[in-house]
Amino acid sequence: MNIPPIDLKAQFKLVQKDILKNIREVLSEQRLILGQYCTKLEDAIAQYVGVPSAITCANGTDALILSLMALDIKEGDEVITTPYTFFATASSIALMGAKPVFVDIEKDSMNIDPGLIERAITPKTKAIIIVHLFGKLCDMDRILSIGKKYGVPIVEDIAQSIGARNDSGMSGSFGDIAALSFYPTKNLGGIGEGGMVLSKRADLGEKVRKLRVHGMGSVPYYHEMVGINSRLDEIKACALVAKFPHLEAWNRKRVANAMLYNKRLKDLPVVLPHIKDDLSYIAHQYVIRVQERDRLQEFLKQKGIATGIYYPLPLHLQPCFSSFGYKKGDFPVAEEASLTCLALPVYPELKKAEKDHIVASVREFFKG
Ligand X SMILES: Cc1ncc(COP(=O)(O)O)c(C=O)c1O
Q: Which residues bind ligand X (CB under 6 A)?
A: 59-61, 85-86, 88-89, 131, 157, 159-160, 181, 183, 193, 195
| Pairing of β 169-170 and β 165-166 | antiparallel
The CA distances from residue 265 to 72, 211, 258, in Å, are 47, 48, 11
Q: Which is nearer to ligand X, 164 or 260 (CB)?
A: 164
Single-letter residue type at 241: V
Q: Which residue is nearest to ligand X (CB)?
A: 60
Give me the least distance between CB of 153 and ligand X, in Å please.
Answer: 18
| Pairing of β 177-181 and β 154-157 | parallel
Q: Which is nearer to ligand X, 98 or 362 (CB)?
A: 98
Give me the least distance between CB of 189 and ligand X, in Å please.
Answer: 10
Give me the least distance between CB of 258 and ligand X, in Å please.
Answer: 18
Q: What are phi and psi of 93, to 5 degrees?
A: -70, -50
Give me the least distance between CB of 292 and ligand X, in Å please.
Answer: 26
Q: Which is nearer to ligand X, 193 or 233 (CB)?
A: 193
Q: Which is nearer to ligand X, 56 or 307 (CB)?
A: 56
- Do residues 42 and 56 make contact, with C-beta atoms less than 8 angstroms apart? yes
Coil, helix or strand at residue 338 = helix
Single-letter residue type at 43: D
Q: Which is nearer to ligand X, 310 or 326 (CB)?
A: 310
Give me the least distance between CB of 183 and ligand X, in Å please.
Answer: 4
Q: Please, how many CA atoms are within 13 Å of residue 18, restricted to the half-sphere of its CB? A: 16
Q: Which is nearer to ligand X, 258 or 270 (CB)?
A: 258
Beta strand spans in 233-340 (E)? 286-289
Q: Which is nearer to ligand X, 157 or 354 (CB)?
A: 157
- Do residues 93 and 244 make contact, with C-beta atoms less than 8 angstroms apart? no
Give me the least distance between CB of 193 and ligand X, in Å please.
Answer: 6
Residues 6+ apart with CB under 8 A from 20: none
Single-letter residue type at 179: A
Give me the least distance between CB of 136 and ligand X, in Å please.
Answer: 12
Single-letter residue type at 71: L
Give me the least distance between CB of 310 and ligand X, in Å please.
Answer: 8
Q: Which of 82, 61, 65, 83 is nearest to 74 (CA)?
A: 65
DSSP output for 188-243: T--SS--EEEEES-HHHHHHHHHHTBTTB-SSTT-BSS---B-PPBHHHHHHHHHH
Which sign, positive or negative, has the C-alpha torsion 165, 169, 175, 178?
A: positive
Q: Which is nearer to ligand X, 157 or 233 (CB)?
A: 157
